[in-house]
Amino acid sequence: MNAPLLAKVGVTFLQLSLLAVGGANAVIPEVRRAVVVRYHWMSDETFTHLFAIAQSAPGPNVMIVSLVGWRLVGLAGLLVATIAMLGPSCLLAFGVGRVWSRWSHAPVVGMLQQVLAPIAVGLIAASGLILARAADASIAAGTVTALVAAFVLFTKRSPMWALAAAAIGAIMLRRMGMPF
């Protein structure tokens, strides 16, 4: 086991945990920046694949953190990254929740709710844009991203239909010998 890397993974995700306003998806750009750009622990392609696995699996979106830890340091990395990401934010949420319930009728609480909602949405939108740029290594991939985004924005159908269509399209392109 690589103890220095394990410690670095723990510290990195502990810090990111406290920035996760709006959930784990809100800090995906920072997770990517740390894992790919700052520490060079993996490539953009690998990170994007882990993100896709985390999103397609049932369960919480924070699974990306566990997968990154697992990829870097094995089972110990999975446990350390997950606990480092969930522990501080859970404790902070518990503390803030107690204060919030006590002061829920105060005008400043309503103002904070109005301010935090667009921040969370903006962080999540930035996550999508950063991941799209990392994943769109070809014209075909960029086209799929644009089509899926349009499908989700302009229809009321489940995004699973877009996922299924993209998977079928990718399989067809591969069988025709075209890269995707």
Give the three-class secondary structure for 157.
coil
* pLDDT at site 139: 81
Q: Which two tokens stand for residue 62?
A: 């924070």
Predicted model pTM: 0.67
pLDDT, position 21: 67
Tell me which residues of the chain have a pLDDT lower than 50.
none
Which tokens belong to 168?
């079928």
DSSP 74-134: HHHHHHHHHHHHHHHHHHHHHHHHHHHHHTTTSHHHHHHHHHHHHHHHHHHHHHHHHHHHH
Tokens read off for 165: 């269509």
Q: Where are the domains of the chain?
A: 3-104
Cβ proximity of 124 and 26 under 8 Å: yes
Instruction: Provide the terminal-to-terminal Cα distance of the chain, rounded to the nearest Å.
Output: 36
What pLDDT shows up at residue 151?
A: 92
